[in-house]
Structure 1
Amino acid sequence: MTSPPGPGLTSQPGQPADGIAPLQVPPGPRSRSGTMVNVLLIAAAAVVVLLVGFFLFAALGSEAFILCGFLALIPLGICLLGLRWIDRWEPEPRAILLFAFLWGAGVSVAITVALGSMVNEVLMTLLPLTPADVIATVVQAPLVEEAAKGLGVLLLVFVRRSHFDGPLDGIVYAGMVGAGFAFTENILYFSAALFETGGVGLQLGFVFVLRGLFSPFAHVIFTAAVGVALGLAVRKPGSVRILVGFAAGLAVAVLGHMFWNGGMALVYDDFFLFYFLLQVPLFALALAGVAYLRRAEQRLTAERLGEYAAAGWFTPAEVDMLATRSGRRQALRWAGSFGAKPAMRDFIREATNLALTRQQLVNGRDLRSNAAREGRILAGLLRTRAALLQPAGRAGRG
């Protein structure tokens, strides 16, 4: 191979050697079915969001709806920044993330409203000695809300399976659903505080601080349990595994939500004691879990790309560039020096997708479709490499 013109980028793709054989699957045009599915999912979810929005607008009035909606944007922004940090290594398709948010903000809210009262009546019949407020807050709400949110994540597993690679993807998709649900729910909580005192005051400020600043990730964390369980389940083929994973993740999400709603009774209704003794450690544990999964995905990327390097598709220097954060930063700085940073981002994204697709093949998932996808990604990588090297050559001659 020739000497790299940049940080690890070779001027010629290697010739496949022993190991991963050159694929015989023709790249061909991309199927439009995936795009149509995205459009249909987003359109359907958007209609429900609009209906929920009209309902809230009519119930709250324009001033309360706008004010509370604006306040709800702040914790939403915090959640989205956190999810973006989680999703930096292998960004998920924006269309799927949009659908996940719309499901949370609209569909899951509609399901909760439609089924909440009915489930509450059933639970009161089954638990006649339990106070009604405890049933509604500690039992019914976690059951219905987590099921409504989790169904959106489960739907993505079945209709966008190729983009659901593991637990980290599950956290991102489930987190978007949870963030959307929290956004709409916060509008309701903020408006209740607004109407309780007849205007903007300490009550609204107190609720905003508690929900918007102290615990913006609550619903994200609950629903993430479903995402992690489904992400582990999809690593191997089989619908039964997926359903079992969904049930396990949903159970954890419901129990966590129950604990969250009923936990203050354990510390004598002192929210701040509950927050610092229980919620903060739980959040720290969640962060540690995410950090571990991110490192695991980086190691997997390096391992799988290393197999391609052994077969001649990449050099070891390219693997280091593509599978480490420092290598990616260096590569983006180099490409930015001659205006090719977007092409380098594409190269990094395609290489990461290649590694995850190879992992799916190793796990025996959807062998035919993943083999075809692997061929398309390799062809795209060669085109992107050429697109990077042309401006790099011009910059070098200049």
Structure 2
Amino acid sequence: MFGQLWAQDWHAGLSAPFVEETAKGIGIVVLLALAPRLVRTATDGLLLGAFIGLGFQTSEDFLYSIAGATQGFGAHQTDGLLGSIATRTYSDIVSHPLFTALFCAGVIYLIGTPAQPRRIGRGLALIVAPILIHGVWDSMLAIAGGSSSLVFVIMIGDIVFAFTALWIAFVWAHPRESHFVRDILAPEIESGVLTDAEVTAAGGWRQQRTYAKAAPTRTERRQRRHIVRAALDLCSDLAVSKGDDSPQVVESRNEITRLRQGTAAQSITR
């Protein structure tokens, strides 16, 4: 309708984002159907989506490498292959793992699960964001009108927007995961294995940093970080054992006790 030149400039940006992101998004829907008790939160969507995107990225890079090696009727295959690999590596800075992580988290929010209340606004935002980022990335030359300096500006802006969207997605997903950590570790507070402050610190890196900085000495700050990491290991072991005192759970509790006794011994020595 708009001519061959227009189609050549815009065909990738107006087709690939919609087709590819939707196709990859089907992956998280399949996983939700196959493992509804394992795929539960937006964080699961982010992590699983990244691996779905990585698989797509690997396949696509392989196909582009073949195309680069066979262009020119197979002449200078090494040059074509290396050139294709270099171009794809450069363009992979912001690519399918990031796109799909955002899209799949959006799908989780849009569909909702027993552990993740439906958030239609967040879901639509995280679905639209990677399509927009992908579209701008594939259309940089057309948007810039052939200006190399403008292409660079658009590329940097797209990268900043992409990583900002990813950071926002993790910020949105964090409270739900922190809530699970506190639920799992709450009995450990009652039994005296952990303190309330340590469980709160295990809920996120910001809380952990605040808790560690509150210690009066560098040694105690380091010990607090070790205890919080051990608490997260205990949380993981309790989740796997479904609350039972498995050998791994007992070992994690003993490690927390050892770390705490080491801190006390150092304080007495001083």
Aligned length: 236
1:175 CA drift (Å) = 1.0
Please point out which of 236, 241, 244 is paired with 1:349.
236
Counterpart-to-counterpart distance in 2, 1:328 and 1:148:
45
CA deviation map 1:224-256 (0-9, x unaligned): 232221333465549x95999877754444333
1:377 paired residue number: 242
AA aligned to 1:386 is V
CA deviation map 1:68-124 (0-9, x unaligned): xxxxxxxxxxxxxxxxxxxxxxxxxxxxxxxxxxxxxxxxxxxxxxxxxxxxxxxxx
The higher relative CO (CA closer than 8 Å, separation ≥ 6) is in 1
Tell me the C-alpha RMSD between the 2 structures: 4.4
2:44 paired residue number: 169
- Retained in 1: the 8 A contact 2:144–2:151? no
Q: 1:377 to 1:157 in 2, by over 3 A?
A: same
1:391 CA drift (Å) = 9.2
Counterpart-to-counterpart distance in 1, 2:166 and 2:107:
19
Please point out which of 169, 187, 199 is paired with 2:76.
199
- Are 2:139 and 1:259 aligned? no
2:99 paired residue number: 222
Q: 1:332 to 1:194 in 2, by over 3 A?
A: farther
AA aligned to 2:46 is I
1:173 CA drift (Å) = 0.8
1:146 paired residue number: 21
- Retained in 2: the 8 A contact 1:178–1:220? yes
- Are 2:175 and 1:279 aligned? no
1:141 CA drift (Å) = 2.5
1:279 CA drift (Å) = 2.8
Q: 1:288 to 1:144 in 2, by over 3 A?
A: closer
Scaled by the length of structure 1, what TM-score is found?
0.47
What's the secondary structure of 1:139's corresponding residue? coil
Structure 1: state its 5+ residue gaps.
1-127, 336-343, 355-375
2:250 paired residue number: 386
Q: What pairs with 1:95-244 in structure 2 (closer than 5 Å)?
A: 128-129=1-2, 131=4, 132-133=7-8, 136-196=11-71, 198-200=75-77, 204-233=81-110, 237=114
1:289 paired residue number: 168
Counterpart-to-counterpart distance in 2, 1:156 and 1:236:
13
Scaled by the length of structure 2, what TM-score is found?
0.64
